[in-house]
Structure 1
Amino acid sequence: MDDPDRYIGHNVATIRVRRGWSQQQLADKTIVDGKAISRSALANYESGDRIVDSRKLLYALATALQVSLAELTGHAEDRHLSAASAFHLAAPRIEAALMSAGQSDDDHEPAAVDLLARDANRAMDLRMAGDLSSLGAILPTLITDCYRRTTLGAAVEREAAWAALSRAAFATGLASKGLGLVSLSWNAARVTAEAALACGDRVALAASEFVSSQVLLAMPGSVTASLGRAQSAIDSLEGDLTGSPEGMQLYGMLHLQASLASAATGHESAGHLDEARDMATRTAAVGDAFRLDFGRPNVDIWGMSVALEEGRGSDAIEIAATVDHEQIATAERRARYFIELARGYSQEGEYPQAMAALLNAESIAPQYVRSRSIVRELSGYMLRKAKRELGTGELARFAERVGALESHGLTSSRL
């Protein structure tokens, strides 16, 4: 570490303050050997009165703060050991759990159905919070246990296990798609559909179609297929979905996906957005189906995405001005709001504003932001095009954190 005053505890304190967290909040999130550390211990680490002298504690602090080890240690060799990388490391085990359908080599007794339902909901919450490391840690066992419970006990318990599996697989599908793990995401969507059909949940079936369309939109040459998948689900499931608030929310999400795919294929997108707005108005006072945070702010954020897909950066900025981002419930969605705002500013050549929006996004959900390929592309673009306007220090540091330096063939010495 070049600056002797910037010891690990100092960096912990700096990042904690940037997050807007109290010492108690960070202490509660820092789990070592299954227990949270105390506030007084954290205070001593931050002040330098105690040294962070174990890798176990260092990993716990990095995971709680959702940063790479390098941001705490200052050592270049730690730069790739991000908390989000835990999901990548867990991906083979997650895929094995999906493919083996509960028949893994580990013959442990599966958790009770009520605990599986709780953990499936937690998996969806972790995804929306952008906490990919914690999500990756629970998914292999959760999926395996859900599968095993589908063959045990009374019919009502087996059905509940299928319902829990549909939610766990759904969280897997969207999280892995966002990380570019499209094969894993596709398999997770398939399992979501399998579980939905087994328990007769048409809303969960719509959720599986939403993930499938998202995966196709991320694949080269499959944009038309993405639109066709979303439109087919809208047509075939309308009668099943529009009779309940939860169903209407998934129906609205399918229209949002269809609007984005329409924009990507040059088709008219406004009709799908209008339908989604109508669903948001009609379900404003109900719950949060599949933890997708459906509602008017979310519809507006998707509207920003559609405008950007159609090259209308100024329209995306105008839409952003109508959204009260403080009222967006989840970290993932708030971060996406600022990413889309950054893209809008970039399209309009307003690079300092774009940089500020990206930093806002990173402060809200660092794992999520650093895992997005669009963020790496955008920051790399600004490195090449806007260095004079932005200066090199802050932009270069951000680009290094999101991996844009390597992916764009740049190094700090060249900036």
Structure 2
Amino acid sequence: MIDEPDTFIGQRVRQIRARRGISQQVLADRAGLTRSVIAKYETGIRPVDSRRTLLALASALGCTLGDLTGSDDRIDPSMSAFHRAVPDIETALWTQGNITDTAPPRTVDELTSAVEHASRLRHAGDYAALGPLLPGLLTDAYRLADDGNAQGWDLLATAAYGVASALRQRGHDALAWTAVQESERAAARADSLAPIAAAGFLKSQILAARPGALGAALSVATDIADRLTLDARTLGELETVGMVRQQVGFAETLAGGDPHPHLAEAAELAGRLAQAPSGRSTARNRTFGPANVALWQVSSAVERREPVEALRIAQTLNPDDLPSGVRHAQYFVEVGRAHAMRRDHRAALHALLRGEHAAPQHVRGMAPVRELVGSMLRETRRDLTTGELGRLARRVGVVS
């Protein structure tokens, strides 16, 4: 499907529904919505601003989330560097590093440094710089593991996790699943719970973006969290298990359940970080901590369409306590979404601009941001089109 300027999710819903030959009422019945809501989505009067609704629509239409949200490639040409690296990443995964490359592999110390550098780029949202590094990172990690190096399996688990996470963020879900399976395989031979928890977290996130797989996403995350929470001791283990516990909470939110007990457990794990030993594993999630737990609470409230509660929690959180880059940006995106739900478009725009400043590549490629910006542009065309909103709309690809 080729997107026209100002294409929004509701338009794609209408296009796919028409091709399927079903009425608005049939779609509404399948998705558990009303026909009037479907009509508002399809005409752009109301944005599709809930992951739960998006999953319901995709399942009812028999398509993927990507079919409804569109492609990232058209939004930011600088992202082409990442996408050009994907075939080489695929080859490295399929061959498990057995490629025709005569370059000597990096040492353990060199590879450890490279894995940490890649992690920093990923958390900063600099995918253009990250992509070209990933094939070589995987290849060298495979070779170290194949040589029987004890740290090689840990490095492979961490490298494959980072690759999977980046692929998921850029819309390559099928390949991300292959990468996270490799991370899980390597984690089973590493001497730490951290890479096991990290792989489980990402498996659940990938599943949660697949129509019909929400139950599996919740099951995977719950199993890992329940199995590993009591034994988590080191920084890396507390960080990664804490992220899994947060993922359980968010999956519960998507399923219409209660996320609060799981987010409370994540907060308890975050409170233990200051006294935890460092551990030997390279698997870490340095974004995890009390501020990150509060951010997930905000996200959960936004997903439940409770903007007042989301903004109340956001006011208790200093965004400077979050790591710069993707997490910092996510805070402002969620605040922007909450303001938009209250129809305070100027406050929403201000928040989105701050989020874009924190992680431009990441925010410009986010489907919820495009949907929100497009909706605001349609509602406020007369007084904001030529200002910051119009310029942001062009940067995120809503208009040409």
TM-score range, shorter chain: 0.7 to 0.9
Counterpart CA distance in 1 for 2:75 and 2:334 is: 25
Letter of the 1:371 counterpart? G
Tell me which residue corresponds to 1:256: 246
Tell me which residue corresponds to 1:91: 86
Tell me which residue corresponds to 2:299: 305
The one of 326, 338, 343 equivalent to 2:337 is 343
2:103 is paired with a residue whose SS is: coil
Q: Check if 1:133 corresponds to 2:128.
A: yes
Cα distance change, pair 297–400 in 1 and its aligned pair in 2 (3 A): same
More relative contact order, 1 or 2 (CA 8 Å, 6+ apart): 2
The one of 385, 396, 399 equivalent to 1:402 is 396
Cα distance change, pair 247–169 in 1 and its aligned pair in 2 (3 A): same
Residues 124, 290 of structure 1: 8 Å contact kept? no
Could you tell me how far 1:190 is from its partner in structure 2? 0.7
1:250 is paired with a residue whose SS is: helix
1:349 is paired with a residue whose SS is: coil
Tell me which residue corresponds to 1:274: 264
Cα distance change, pair 174–195 in 1 and its aligned pair in 2 (3 A): same
Q: Check if 1:104 corresponds to 2:94.
A: no
Residues 374, 398 of structure 2: 8 Å contact kept? yes
Letter of the 2:131 counterpart? G
Counterpart CA distance in 1 for 2:275 and 2:342 is: 36
Q: Highest Rg: 1 or 2? A: 1
> Comparing 171-180 with 244-253, which one deviates more in the overlay?
244-253
Tell me which residue corresponds to 1:323: 317
Q: Check if 1:123 corresponds to 2:118.
A: yes
The one of 197, 201, 204 equivalent to 2:192 is 201
Residues 262, 269 of structure 1: 8 Å contact kept? yes
Letter of the 2:91 counterpart? A
The one of 366, 369, 375 equivalent to 1:372 is 366
Cα distance change, pair 275–114 in 1 and its aligned pair in 2 (3 A): same
Correspondences of 1:212-251 after superposition (within 5 Å):
212-241=203-232, 243-251=233-241
Q: How many residues align?
A: 324
Residues 162, 196 of structure 1: 8 Å contact kept? yes
Could you tell me how far 1:309 is from its partner in structure 2? 1.0
Tell me which residue corresponds to 1:354: 348
Could you tell me how far 1:174 is from its partner in structure 2? 1.5
1:150 is paired with a residue whose SS is: helix
Counterpart CA distance in 2 for 1:216 and 1:170 is: 15
Cα distance change, pair 289–329 in 1 and its aligned pair in 2 (3 A): farther
Counterpart CA distance in 1 for 2:132 and 2:146 is: 24
Residues 195, 283 of structure 2: 8 Å contact kept? no
Cα distance change, pair 360–199 in 1 and its aligned pair in 2 (3 A): same
Provide, for residues 160-211 of structure 1, a one-character-per-residue CA deviation record: whole Å limited to 9, x for no partner: 1221111111111222212221112111211111111122332101100000
Counterpart CA distance in 2 for 1:362 and 1:133 is: 16
Q: Give TM-score scaled by structure 2 length.
A: 0.77
Residues 284, 295 of structure 1: 8 Å contact kept? no
> Percent identity at matched positions?
37
Q: Check if 1:189 corresponds to 2:183.
A: no
Residues 121, 168 of structure 1: 8 Å contact kept? no
Letter of the 1:378 counterpart? L
Letter of the 1:361 counterpart? G
1:396 is paired with a residue whose SS is: helix
Residues 158, 283 of structure 2: 8 Å contact kept? no
Q: Check if 1:148 corresponds to 2:138.
A: no
Could you tell me how far 1:315 is from its partner in structure 2? 1.0
Provide, for residues 8-54 of structure 1, a one-character-per-residue CA deviation record: whole Å limited to 9, x for no partner: xxxxxxxxxxxxxxxxxxxxxxxxxxxxxxxxxxxxxxxxxxxxxxx
Residues 342, 357 of structure 1: 8 Å contact kept? yes
Cα distance change, pair 81–340 in 1 and its aligned pair in 2 (3 A): closer
Counterpart CA distance in 2 for 1:113 and 1:347 is: 49
> Comparing 83-92 with 267-276, which one deviates more in the overlay?
83-92
Tell me which residue corresponds to 2:202: 211
Tell me which residue corresponds to 1:178: 169
Tell me which residue corresponds to 2:5: none
Tell me which residue corresponds to 1:72: none
Provide, for residues 365-407 of structure 1, a one-character-per-residue CA deviation record: whole Å limited to 9, x for no partner: 10111121111111112122233463443212211211223xx
Cα distance change, pair 315–289 in 1 and its aligned pair in 2 (3 A): farther
Could you tell me how far 1:122 is from its partner in structure 2? 1.1
Q: Please, what is the CA RMSD of the aligned residues?
A: 2.0
Counterpart CA distance in 1 for 2:368 and 2:156 is: 30
Q: Check if 1:114 corresponds to 2:105.
A: no
Counterpart CA distance in 2 for 1:350 and 1:81 is: 27
Could you tell me how far 1:295 is from its partner in structure 2? 0.6
